[in-house]
Structure 1
Amino acid sequence: MSVRRAAPSDLEDMTWVLLGASPDDPVYAYRYPGRNQFPEDFALHCRLRCSEYLATSTVVVYEVRMGKSDDQTKVVAFGVWDPPRAKRSAGATAAKHHVSATVAAPVPVRRDAHPGRVKAFSSQSAEAKSRFFDTRYGGRGHMFLRILLCHPDYRRRGAGSELVQWGLKRAVARGLDATLFSSPMGYSLYRQLGFRECGRFLCVVIFHGSLHSSGSSRRPPPLDACRSNSMAETPPVFATPLAQSPRSDILEWRFPKPFHSFVLTGKSRAAWHTSFMIPQLNLLLDAGLCINHQRPKHIFLTHGHNDHAMLATAFVKRDDPPDIYCPAEMEVVFDSYIRANRLLNLGGLVTLDEICRTGEDSEGGDGSEPDEQAVATTPAKKGGVRPTHITHGLRPGDTVTLPRIKAQNITATAFACDHSVPCLGYVFSITTDKLRPEYTGLSGQEIKRLRVSGTSITAPKRVPIFAFLGDTTAATLAAAPEWLVEGVAVVVTECSFLYEEHRRQAEKTKHTLWSDLEPVIRKWPKTTFVITHFSLRYKDMDK
């Protein structure tokens, strides 16, 4: 395996890589929806694109040996780096244009592409590159990774990392930053390699025309008539979307070591929605929205406000009822809410007594989809109806073990939060066996002898991993709870208001103000604070 600069002889292998890798990339699926219907068009233009890369950019390939001989190699991945472009004189520019006009050949019309999407993606990505990178780095320039592809048969063998590292080394040697655009597919790789996100852009196509004539329900007129009509008819008017309202993106964040196997996924905006997942713990933190198709079985609700609990109904399921933990004060009314949602879903055609008597569901469908199963929400705890969830009312100081974790070593301890309604936070801990303090100074041989003799040399120790706070003021953390003093790795907490001018509103609603939270964060520098729940009055640029 080796990394080297590409040669013209690599064209066929590069085309093979592009054809193999493109089906997995959502960017290609968006621009070329007809690539499966017109594979010859897609293959031809993939080859033309690779030829263009070889002619205009710095292409780096990753090749593997296919046989015993060093000469039997195959390119299985490649990256295209665009170094800073040198400024040309007016004469040089004119000469280049003259040559291009002389040798350019007509590009075949392709049937696999969606013209509107291709044009929009090209123009909007160029605008984004200029805005995020070219303008920022000015005359100094930057190393731009235009594309990185690996054939699916050779993924997860380090090819992508090697190709990126190749460019990073050269960027460092030249005193430049390395930049790139990432689709969701490559995001985690680039984060692992040290890249940081500096912005996002959304490709929007206002008019989606038919890709080809067979997509129309009526027979199209002849080509000449089409050309004539398009020139003579008044162009149709389509609705132009208004500017996007304040929103929050679903983001993912990996915990720091040694808990880096956990990934926090979700989003939160005050008075709109708050919900986070940690799939590795089968855990949902608040249920203000459905983050994705997953339905975790450990659900912890901080309080009963709609933006934190309203969509709990989507997570209950009779076939596999989740464990739902909430403040004890809201346990009864929460079960009543689930019951009422069940009756509402049945359209008022049956009563709760009828459901309890028959123990049957009346909705249509086979319940095979998560969203269909989620409507079976009768929380009966006795009688003939199976429960759809198991509610656990907790009070500050209560500790529970997450029952769906195989090792049974993850616990959650409730603590009080300062809010306008009963509200809890939860600190999640892991229990492991640690060497007893009285044996810490012994050698390995001495410890081994004690173990062989049957002496208990370890004791269970609970280590806090992270704390999740619902709506609260900064007073909860300012009180220096024990788990914060012990060095909890992560604290997920709200900060609804950023500026002092909103202090009155923060105090009235019992939410957190940044100037109150900042001293707490600075006091505990070894703890990572994840700040959530920003007010909708703030735009993304304010955060």
Structure 2
Amino acid sequence: MYLREARLSDMPAVGKIGARAFIDDPLFAILEPGRNAYYEDYEGGWIQRVRKYFLKLETRVILAVDEESKDISGFAVWVREGDDPAADRWRDEGGILKRIEFKLLTIEDKITALLSPKSRSENPAALAHFDKAVEQVDATIWSQEGRHIRWHLYLLAVSPSWRKQGVGSLLTSWGMENGAKEGVICVLESSPAGKSLYERLGFKMIDVWVPFEGSKEGFEQLTAPMMVWQPGTAKANGAAEGKTANGVAIEDGSVNGARGGTGMGKAIDPL
């Protein structure tokens, strides 16, 4: 297993992995209640979602790839947030090509949205509430002094056929290694089921996010541990069972999601 950065041409395959990985996720049961009845709409939304992530200059979509088959086994969306020189360098490295692609595809998406029917899998009210909750948590918890400069794991998805084989840990280690090099924290919102994996990697819970708090739909039971990894508290490659050819450790265990989104927001997914 090895890691590589995604290309725009990878986005259909990446979106399909996300759709499969999150099909039974409690959050998407709320956001996309019609995902099973209208799977094509649901999958199409995922492809559009990961493409938008990919085109952001501060974002890196990292793929875990099987060495023999070259199949993508999972992906992580890591975002370098902050106003420090290292964050500026990551944005600059996004390059002119991403800027051109972003403008062209934004126009394409607007035309598609006008001509295409709305997704039949989505719950618009729940999506709107969730987007506001994302803005609020960004403006409060993650904007505090000492946290605004960070690597943020927005989304992590593992193909169902590759679960429990260390793919989640491998993808998480990419951000941790960069955080260690730059001396900045790594943060994420985990599912309750994924919390123990991140704790084994050295993350600590600092709070619990309740994205539907106060919602009229009554989804307050959905919670997400908010977790932080500090450089120096644990090795970026964890207590590994083995390593890939590029030196990134693989630990037994994986997780399907951390922070993902309805557009550029967050999502929670169990093991």
The TM-score bracket by the shorter chain reads 0.5 to 0.7
Partner of 1:192: 200
Partner of 1:59: 61
Partner of 2:176: 168
Q: Contact 1:31 / 1:114 at 8 angstroms: preserved in 2?
A: yes
Residue deviations 1:335-390, cap 9 Å, x none? xxxxxxxxxxxxxxxxxxxxxxxxxxxxxxxxxxxxxxxxxxxxxxxxxxxxxxxx
Cα distance change, pair 100–126 in 1 and its aligned pair in 2 (3 A): farther
Partner of 1:131: 140
Larger RCO: 1 or 2 (CA < 8 Å, sep 6+): 2
Show the 5 A alignment for 1:321-340: none
Q: Contact 2:42 / 2:121 at 8 angstroms: preserved in 1?
A: yes
Question: Which of 138, 141, 155 matches 2:149?
Answer: 141
Q: Contact 2:23 / 2:35 at 8 angstroms: preserved in 1?
A: no
Residue deviations 1:290-326, cap 9 Å, x none? xxxxxxxxxxxxxxxxxxxxxxxxxxxxxxxxxxxxx
Partner of 2:95: none
Q: Contact 1:33 / 1:112 at 8 angstroms: preserved in 2?
A: yes
Q: Contact 2:76 / 2:172 at 8 angstroms: preserved in 1?
A: yes
CA deviation after TM superposition for structure 1 residue 135, in Å = 2.1
Between the aligned partners of 2:104 and 2:139, the Cα distance in structure 1 is 24
Between the aligned partners of 2:60 and 2:198, the Cα distance in structure 1 is 19
Between the aligned partners of 2:145 and 2:139, the Cα distance in structure 1 is 8
Tell me, what secondary structure is at the counterpart of 1:111?
coil
Residue deviations 1:426-445, cap 9 Å, x none? xxxxxxxxxxxxxxxxxxxx
Q: Which amino acid aligns with 2:194?
A: G
Q: Contact 1:144 / 1:179 at 8 angstroms: preserved in 2?
A: yes
Partner of 2:121: 112
Between the aligned partners of 1:83 and 1:169, the Cα distance in structure 2 is 13
Between the aligned partners of 1:173 and 1:199, the Cα distance in structure 2 is 26
Structure 2, unmatched stretches of 5+, are: 89-98, 226-271
Tell me, what secondary structure is at the counterpart of 1:198?
strand
Partner of 1:17: 17
Q: Which amino acid aligns with 1:37?
A: A
Q: Contact 1:62 / 1:76 at 8 angstroms: preserved in 2?
A: yes
Question: Which of 71, 76, 83 matches 2:80?
Answer: 83
Between the aligned partners of 1:2 and 1:179, the Cα distance in structure 2 is 23
Structure 1, unmatched stretches of 5+, are: 67-71, 89-95, 209-239, 252-543
Between the aligned partners of 2:5 and 2:202, the Cα distance in structure 1 is 23
Tell me, what secondary structure is at the counterpart of 2:144?
helix
Q: Contact 1:78 / 1:163 at 8 angstroms: preserved in 2?
A: yes
CA deviation after TM superposition for structure 1 residue 101, in Å = 11
Cα distance change, pair 132–37 in 1 and its aligned pair in 2 (3 A): same
Q: Which moved more, 1:174-183 or 1:107-116?
A: 107-116
Partner of 1:32: 32
Q: Which runs of 4+ in 1 moved over 4 A?
A: 85-88, 99-102
Percent identity among equivalent residues?
Answer: 24
Partner of 1:330: none
Q: TM-score, normalised by structure 2?
A: 0.65
Tell me, what secondary structure is at the counterpart of 1:185?
coil
Q: Contact 2:17 / 2:159 at 8 angstroms: preserved in 1?
A: yes
Tell me, what secondary structure is at the counterpart of 1:77?
strand
Q: Which amino acid aligns with 1:126?
A: E
* Structure with the greater alpha carbon radius of gyration: 1
Partner of 1:8: 8
Between the aligned partners of 1:16 and 1:172, the Cα distance in structure 2 is 31
Q: Contact 2:129 / 2:215 at 8 angstroms: preserved in 1?
A: no
Between the aligned partners of 2:106 and 2:208, the Cα distance in structure 1 is 39
CA deviation after TM superposition for structure 1 residue 34, in Å = 0.9
CA deviation after TM superposition for structure 1 residue 130, in Å = 2.7
Q: Contact 1:79 / 1:149 at 8 angstroms: preserved in 2?
A: yes
Q: Does 1:155 align with 2:163?
A: yes
Q: Contact 2:65 / 2:74 at 8 angstroms: preserved in 1?
A: yes
Show the 5 A alignment for 1:295-314: none
Tell me, what secondary structure is at the counterpart of 2:126?
helix
Q: Which amino acid aligns with 2:28?
A: Y
Tell me, what secondary structure is at the counterpart of 1:83?
strand
Cα distance change, pair 16–206 in 1 and its aligned pair in 2 (3 A): closer
Tell me, what secondary structure is at the counterpart of 1:105?
helix
Cα distance change, pair 35–78 in 1 and its aligned pair in 2 (3 A): same
Tell me, what secondary structure is at the counterpart of 2:141?
helix
Q: Contact 2:83 / 2:149 at 8 angstroms: preserved in 1?
A: no
Q: Which amino acid aligns with 1:82?
A: V
Show the 5 A alignment for 1:199-348: 199-202=207-210, 203-204=212-213, 206-208=215-217
